[in-house]
Structure formats: structure tokens, C-alpha cells
């Protein structure tokens, strides 16, 4: 029986299939089909099954990650969406936090609301901050709002009333009215999507969910039908942005939860490889694909998670310029630096790379599919890092001539040789990634010097040596099958679901009975969802936390909460957890201030699948030279030019094999570039550990 992971990226769709009995892995990588991502995914799956004579019925799990939700929000290709909210609050989507993300920009551009003003309906109703009723829902106005939206031809509706997270009655009644008036509508309630305080973030998240809901349902229905045609009749699972997987039915209800599903899997697989390789300190996850590069800090074996996330930012690195999504997302930085990133000369005559990408259609010039702009992949080819005849194992030969023509045109604009232009592209994109990684780590209180990096994605191992050198990272782990590692991450993640309920109170005044009821409600809902998916109740794990702060502060820290019925003794433990974590983050505590609890969180998790790697048999009589494929001219900055470099076949390496740089180690889906100051050692699973000398 087999488990399959499918990761649809901006340029390539990666697939990995694991034999559950032996741990053997089968890999496929195909170009993404932007107009309908499922086409490329199914093409890759058919090739994977047919090449090994495996039937769809032999597959036990298909786990999927997609950029469809994020792309729909970025490109504004979702459904025509309406909004129903409390009278006087229809403009929250445009008012936001009433802050400028750049106070010096006189022509500041704010993100366009997903719901235009004419489709934002107001109805009379009002709840107080504690959930008690002040003004009943005016059902006549509610019916009029529903009829207006139906007449306008909206496909989906978001409902978000003031303080509804403390009392869901009005929102649920509004849904009943919408269903009476227009049964065909997709409806998202904020009390179901994100029952948490902060009105703008809650409304933005609910509107985003409604906006992509119809698109995601059609996509998943089509994907399920095509899987059934292959003989796969079991559940389709999807990766959640915060780690864990969920069923396709839950993904249809809450598509906004999978907005960062693919990158999340990459961070989790980095943590797993760090553990396998015995790395005890902090790990940097470095995932570079065809369109973007993702960097994430792994601390104590787990990636950091945030609920302060934005999508579709007007300016990528300016917080506040995007649409807030207040749901758990693995905390990472993502920049437009991938193999398809386009290089150009800017107005000041300087070389710039990205964030624009050639994607998969037409792709880099060397793909020979119509692309003419110089890209990072073209530069890698000109520099000798890639073998034109062995790209994707020879399945997709590259055109060196096209790459040289594209790089040559840019070189003429810059007044340098094509080789210098190619190295400039490689250097600039590497500096962009190193700077992003450095800022991301430092903002989280970490210094990347001396840490380990897990490099994967099709382009990650090609650029890891240079990026690690710029960061002061001394060890780089290049997993076996690094080009499809994110897809492999889907196969080591458990089924899980997360919940949140806001109940604001100072610890000294906390209503423990109310908090116990909230946790009981969340545990019952999580148990119902996961047992419906086939998980036994006794196998479930419940993880409790709470967002807390000192009274008067504007931001919180996430603090562990004990299991069981909370009591006065539990509050003492919670206080100790808060003070320990606060001191770890800020190096001091403020005992003169009272502590305030805001949102109570619960993650319900099924057992974690075993992370199995195929151990290759030892070959004591083998020599490294047996894996030598030949030599070719490869550019390195240390000698400031091309050198005659050894090229190795990764599949012919063995445990303990040592290779001194400069060298290139090739596999079908990726290439590891070993610089002159580096040495590589292979482990029993053919993972490569690269040590870099200062």
C-alpha cells in the first residue's frame, strides 16, 4: 500500500509516493499547469503509477498542498462576494487598523478590499463585548440584505457581526435567512472561521474565506473525481498552513486555512531532517523552488507558528500592506527568489532579480517553451551548475544556447561579459535570500551564525553554499530527493485541527467555569471532526495554549495551558509559563503589572506518521571515484572564474562517502553545488552534510 504527497508550486508540481511496507520512495516532477493546476498534478500521478504498475486502489492516502488559495487572493480571481455586518461597520474592510504602513509615502497604496462597497450590507443588531444582547437582529433588514445580494448575483457571502465571537446567535440566524432567500449561496460565518476578538482581522479572514470558497469546492470536487477515475476511492487530505492535515470536506468549508499549505510542509520536513541528522540547535529551513524562496526558523525541533499573517501584500516586505489572515500559519518569510525569477537592469543601471517570475509558462529561456527573459535558472546553466542533458534526469533537456542569448542581452545592457552577468544574477539572488533569512532570524531573537541549514526544493541545494556562506552557517543538510522534499513533508504530518475562542480577562479575575466550558466545546468539536475522519478517540492528543500579555500591551505571547479542568492551581502554572516565556523573549518580566488572557486555543491531533527513510546498504569496498560522472567547467567566486570541477552521481554514493569541494553532485530533481571551502559527507540515507570552512 502506498502514500502519495502532491505539492503544486508556481513552476513545478512535485509528487512523492512511499511504499508503506518497505519505505521505498518513488518521485515525479512535472511542470505546473497554471490554468488548471489539477491537470499537471494528475499527469504526474498517472506517470508515477503507470511507471511501476501500481493501481490507484493500492494507494491508501493522497495528501495535497496547493497555492490555489493564495494565488486567487493575490490575483483577485475569487468569487463575487458579498458581506453582511453590523450597521455602521460596513467600511471596516477599508478602514483597517487606520495605520499607514509607510508614513513617508505620499502615494500610499492600500490593499483593495475583496468585497466592493455596494456589496457590503448593514443590518441593525448589536451585542456587547461580553456577548450580552443590546439590540436584537432586525429580521426585516436581514431579509432585505439577503435579497439585495441575491439580486446582485453574488456567489458567496461573509457574515461578521460585532462581538459575535462571544455570542454566535445573530450570525447563525443570518445564515438561516440567507439560506431561505438564496439556497445556492456559499456562506462563511466569522464565528465558525475565526471566533476571536479584533474586528478587522476577523472580518478580513472571513471575507477571504468566502472569496475563495466556491473556487476551492469546484477544484476539490474535480480532483476527487479524477482520483476516483484512477481507482482511488479514499479520502483526499490537504495540508494546513499551521502544520497538520485535514480532510477535503473541511478544506471546502475553510479554504483560508490552507493558504500557505505547500510552504508549511517544507518547514516541517526540515525539522524532521534536522532530528534525523542529530542537529540539536536551531535549524534554518531553506526552500528554493522555481518561483519563490521560503526561509523558516526551526527551534527545539518545531517551526515557529504565528497568527499574525498577511497575504496579497501590495509591498512584500511592508507589514500592513496586505490582507490579514488571523489563523495559525507556520512563521516564515517568502521572497520572489526562485529558478524562474527574472533578472533585469533597473532605471539606475543596477542589476535586479525578481520578484517577477517566468513561472512554468513560458518559463526560463533555457526551457525552450517561449521564454526570452534571463532568469536564475539560465544563470545557473551558464555558470555550469546544471547539466543541460540531465535536468529532471534527462526528462527535460535544457537549451544552453537560449540561456546564453538571454544572459548575453542583459550583459550588453550592463556592459559586462555574459559570464559576469550570470554570476551577478547568482550573487544578487543569493544576497536577497541571505538578507531575508538574516532579518527573519534576528526578528525572532536568533543569530543564524553557527546554525544548520536544511536546503531543499529544486534550486535550494544549488544556491545553499553561497547563502550559507553569507549567513555564517557552517552546516548544510541536503536531503536525498531534495527537489521534492516539500511533497514528502505531507507524508509525515498528522491529521489535526485547531480552534480558538476569545475570553478576555485578567488572571486574577478569570471565570474558570467559562474557560472550562470553552475548552470542553472545542474538544468536542475537534473530536467529532477527527473521529469522523477515521481516527480513534483514544489516539487523539489535545494541546492547549492561551494568548496572554501584560495589561496595556498591544501584542501577546502564546503560553501553554494545562490539560484537565482548570483550577486555582492551574492559574499558578499558567502564570509561571507566561513569565518564563516572556523573560526568554524579552529578558525581563514586569511583576508590577497584571497579566491578561485574551484567546484560548486548542489543537486536536491524530498520531503522527512515522518518518521513515530508506537506508541504503553499506558498500565497504566502494570508492568515491566510482560515483564520478566526469568533469565540467564550473564557475566559483573564490578563484574568480571557471575551474575544472568533478561531477558526481548521487545515486552511486554510499554511507561515509566524503567529497571535497569544489564539486557538483547530481540527482534527478536537484543538484548540490559544493564550493571550494566545503566538504560533503553522505549518511546511511544518502542525505548529504556539507561543512563550510570560514
**What tens digit of pLDDT does each residue of 355-374 get?**
888 887 888 999 999 989 99
Higher-confidence residue of 385 and 621: namely: 385
**What pLDDT sits at residue 33?**
85
Pairwise CA distance, residues 115 & 447, whole Å: 42
Identify which of 431, 442, 489, 440 has the alpha carbon closest to the alpha carbon of residue 295: 440
User: Concatenated DSSP letters for 330-366?
Assistant: E-EEEES-STTEEEEE-TTS-EEEEEEE-TTTT--GG
Residue in the structure block whose three cell numbers are 467600511: 91
Walk across the sheet containing 81-86 and list its strands: 120-123, 81-86, 156-160, 186-189
Pairwise CA distance, residues 605 & 499, whole Å: 12
CA-to-CA dists, residue 379 to 275, 432, 433, angstroms? 34, 16, 16
Q: Do strands 25-31 and 12-19 pair parallel, antiparallel, or not at all (unpaired)? A: antiparallel
Mean pLDDT within 552-577: 92
**What pLDDT sits at residue 280?**
66
Angle at Cα 416 formed by Cα 412 and Cα 422, nearest 5°?
A: 90
Mean pLDDT within 1-26: 87
**What pLDDT sits at residue 349?**
87
pLDDT-derived band at 546 (thresholds 50, 70, 90) equals very high
Pairwise CA distance, residues 420 & 425, whole Å: 9
Mean pLDDT within 47-59: 90
The predicted model scores a pTM of 0.86
Contacts 24+ apart (CB under 8 A), 114-118: 114/73, 114/76, 114/78, 114/81, 114/207, 114/208, 114/211, 114/323, 115/81, 115/82, 115/83, 115/158, 115/207, 115/211, 117/90, 117/91, 118/152
**What pLDDT sits at residue 212?**
95
Pairwise CA distance, residues 11 & 33, whole Å: 8
Contact 300, 288 (CB under 8 A): no
Residue in the structure block whose three cell numbers are 473541511: 250
Contact 580, 572 (CB under 8 A): no
**What pLDDT sits at residue 400?**
94
**What pLDDT sits at residue 274?**
86
Mean per-residue pLDDT of the chain? 90
- 78: cell is 475569487
Element holding 253 (H helix, E strand): helix 248-253
| pLDDT at 30 exceeding the cut of 70 | yes
The distance in angstroms from the start CA to the end CA of the chain is 47
Percent of the chain with pLDDT over 70: 99
- Which of 56-70, 301-315, 520-534 is predicted least confidently? 301-315
Contact 448, 438 (CB under 8 A): yes
Identify which of 288, 297, 267 has the alpha carbon closest to the alpha carbon of residue 353: 288
Identify which of 260, 261, 259, 282 has the alpha carbon closest to the alpha carbon of residue 270: 282
Angle at Cα 626 formed by Cα 625 and Cα 629, nearest 5°?
A: 85
Contact 670, 447 (CB under 8 A): no
**What pLDDT sits at residue 51?**
87
| pLDDT at 100 exceeding the cut of 90 | no
| pLDDT at 331 exceeding the cut of 90 | no
User: Collapsing DSSP states into helix, strand and coil, what is residue 91?
Assistant: coil
| pLDDT at 216 exceeding the cut of 80 | yes
| pLDDT at 120 exceeding the cut of 70 | yes
Residues 6+ apart with CB under 8 A from 23: 612, 613, 614
User: Concatenated DSSP letters for 552-579?
Assistant: T-S--EEEE--SSS--HHHHHHHHHHHH
| pLDDT at 382 exceeding the cut of 80 | yes
- Buried-state track 490-511, b at ≥16 Cβ within 10 A, e below 16: bbbbbbbbbbbbbbeeebeebe
**What pLDDT sits at residue 293?**
86
Q: What is the CB neighbour count within 10 angstroms for residue 555?
A: 7
Identify which of 125, 112, 128, 113 has the alpha carbon closest to the alpha carbon of residue 84: 125
Question: What tens digit of pLDDT does each residue of 56-71 get?
Answer: 999 999 999 887 888 7
**What pLDDT sits at residue 262?**
77
What is the torsion angle, in degrees rounded to the nearest 10, for the CA atoms of residue 254, residue 256, residue 259 and residue 264? -60
**What pLDDT sits at residue 145?**
97
Query: What angle, 0 to 180 degrees and rounded to 10, lies between the N-to-C axes of helices 199-229 and 68-75?
Result: 130
| pLDDT at 316 exceeding the cut of 70 | no
pLDDT-derived band at 427 (thresholds 50, 70, 90) equals very high
Domains of the chain: 2-73+217-258 (3.30.420.40), 79-215 (no CATH), 261-337+428-492 (3.30.420.260), 341-425 (no CATH), 496-605 (3.30.1490), 624-692 (no CATH)
**What pLDDT sits at residue 29?**
87
Mean pLDDT within 660-664: 92
Higher-confidence residue of 601 and 108: namely: 601
**What pLDDT sits at residue 67?**
78
- Which of 124-128, 399-403, 496-500 is predicted least confidently? 496-500
- Which of 77-86, 273-282, 370-379, 657-666 is predicted least confidently? 273-282
Contact 266, 485 (CB under 8 A): yes
Enumerate the β-bridge partners of residue 189: 159
Mean pLDDT within 313-324: 77
Identify which of 363, 307, 357 has the alpha carbon closest to the alpha carbon of residue 335: 357
Mean pLDDT within 396-425: 94
Percent of the chain with pLDDT over 90: 59
Most confidently modeled range among 31-45, 216-230, 446-460:
216-230
pLDDT-derived band at 462 (thresholds 50, 70, 90) equals very high
Amino acid at each position: 500500500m502506498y502514500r502519495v504527497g502532491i505539492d503544486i508550486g508556481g513552476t513545478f508540481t512535485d509528487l512523492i509516493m512511499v511504499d508503506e511496507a518497505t519505505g521505498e520512495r518513488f518521485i515525479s516532477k512535472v511542470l505546473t499547469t497554471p490554468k488548471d493546476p489539477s491537470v499537471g498534478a494528475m499527469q504526474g500521478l498517472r506517470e508515477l503509477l503507470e511507471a511501476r504498475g501500481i493501481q490507484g486502489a493500492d494507494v491508501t492516502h493522497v495528501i495535497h498542498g496547493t497555492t490555489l488559495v493564495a494565488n486567487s487572493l493575490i490575483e483577485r480571481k475569487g468569487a463575487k462576494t458579498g458581506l453582511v455586518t453590523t450597521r455602521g461597520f460596513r467600511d471596516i474592510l477599508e478602514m483597517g487598523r487606520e495605520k499607514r504602513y509607510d508614513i513617508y509615502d505620499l502615494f500610499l497604496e492600500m490593499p483593495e478590499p475583496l468585497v466592493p462597497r455596494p456589496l457590503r450590507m448593514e443590518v441593525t443588531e448589536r451585542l456587547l463585548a461580553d456577548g450580552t444582547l443590546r439590540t436584537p437582529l432586525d429580521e426585516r433588514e436581514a431579509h432585505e440584505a439577503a435579497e439585495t445580494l441575491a439580486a446582485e448575483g453574488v456567489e458567496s457571502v461573509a457574515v461578521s457581526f460585532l462581538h459575535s465571537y462571544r455570542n454566535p446567535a445573530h450570525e447563525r440566524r443570518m445564515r438561516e435567512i440567507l439560506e431561505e432567500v438564496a439556497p445556492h449561496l456559499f456562506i462563511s460565518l466569522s464565528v465558525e472561521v475565526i471566533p476571536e476578538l479584533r474586528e478587522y482581522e476577523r472580518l478580513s479572514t472571513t471575507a477571504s474565506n468566502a472569496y475563495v470558497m466556491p473556487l476551492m469546492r469546484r477544484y476539490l470536487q474535480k480532483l476527487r473525481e479524477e482520483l476516483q477515475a484512477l481507482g482511488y476511492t479514499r479520502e483526499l487530505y490537504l495540508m494546513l498552513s499551521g502544520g497538520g492535515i485535514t480532510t477535503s470536506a473541511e478544506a471546502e468549508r475553510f479554504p483560508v486555512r490552507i493558504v500557505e499549505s505547500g510552504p508549511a510542509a517544507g518547514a516541517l520536513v526540515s525539522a524532521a531532517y534536522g532530528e534525523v541528522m542529530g542537529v540539536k540547535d536551531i535549524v534554518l529551513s531553506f526552500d528554493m523552488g522555481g518561483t519563490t524562496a521560503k526561509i523558516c526558523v526551526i527551534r527545539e525541533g518545531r517551526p515557529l507558528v504565528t497568527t499574525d499573517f498577511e497575504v496579497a501584500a501590495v509591498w512584500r516586505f511592508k507589514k500592513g500592506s496586505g490582507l490579514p489572515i488571523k489563523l495559525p500559519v507556520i512563521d516564515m518569510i517568502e521572497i520572489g527568489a526562485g529558478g524562474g525569477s527574472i533578472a533585469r537592469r533597473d532605471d539606475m543601471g543596477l542589476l535586479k532579480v525578481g520578484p517577477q517570475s517566468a513561472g512554468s509558462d513560458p518559463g526560463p529561456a533555457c526551457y525552450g517553451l517561449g521564454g526570452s527573459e534571463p532568469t536564475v535558472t539560465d544563470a545557473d546553466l551558464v555558470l555550469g551548475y546544471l547539466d543541460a542533458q540531465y535536468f529532471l534526469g534527462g526528462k527535460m533537456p535544457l537549451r544552453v544556447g537560449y540561456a546564453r542569448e538571454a544572459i548575453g542581452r542583459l550583459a550588453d545592457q550592463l556592459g559586462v561579459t555574459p559570464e559576469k552577468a550570470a554570476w551577478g544574477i547568482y550573487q544578487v539572488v543569493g544576497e536577497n535570500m541571505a538578507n531575508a533569512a538574516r532579518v527573519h532570524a534576528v526578528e525572532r531573537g536568533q543569530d543564524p551564525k553557527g546554525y544548520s541549514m536544511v536546503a531543499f526544493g529544486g534550486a535550494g541545494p544549488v544556491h545553499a553554499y553561497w547563502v550559507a556562506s553569507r549567513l555564517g552557517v557552517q552546516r548544510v543538510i541536503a536531503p536525498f530527493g531534495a527537489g521534492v522534499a516539500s511533497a514528502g513533508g505531507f507524508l509525515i504530518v498528522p491529521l489535526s485541527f485547531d480552534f480558538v475562542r476569545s475570553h478576555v480577562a485578567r488572571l486574577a479575575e478569570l471565570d474558570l467555569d467559562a474557560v472550562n466550558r470553552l475548552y470542553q466545546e472545542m474538544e468536542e468539536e475537534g473530536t467529532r471532526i477527527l473521529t469522523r475522519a477515521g481516527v480513534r478517540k483514544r489516539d487523539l492528543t489535545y494541546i492547549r495554549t492561551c494568548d496572554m500579555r501584560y495589561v496595556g500591551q498591544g501584542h501577546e505571547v502564546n503560553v501553554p495551558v494545562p490539560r484537565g479542568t482548570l483550577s486555582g492551581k492551574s492559574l499558578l502554572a499558567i502564570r509561571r509559563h507566561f513569565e518564563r516565556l516572556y523573560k526568554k523573549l524579552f529578558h525581563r518580566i514586569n511583576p508590577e503589572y497584571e497579566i491578561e488572557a485574551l484567546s484560548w486555543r486548542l489543537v486536536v491531533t491524530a498520531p503522527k506518521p512515522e518518518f521513515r527513510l530508506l537506508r541504503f546498504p553499506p558498500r565497504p569496498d566502494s570508492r568515491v571515484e566510482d560515483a564520478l560522472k566526469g568533469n565540467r567547467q564550473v564557475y566559483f567566486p573564490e578563484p574568480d572564474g571557471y575551474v575544472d570541477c568533478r561531477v558526481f552521481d548521487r545515486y552511486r554514493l554510499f554511507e561515509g562517502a566524503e567529497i571535497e569541494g569544489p564539486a557538483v553532485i547530481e540527482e534527478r530533481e536537484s543538484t548540490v553545488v559544493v564550493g571550494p571551502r566545503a566538504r560533503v559527507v553522505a549518511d546511511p540515507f544518502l542525505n548529504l552534510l556539507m561543512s563550510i570552512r570560514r
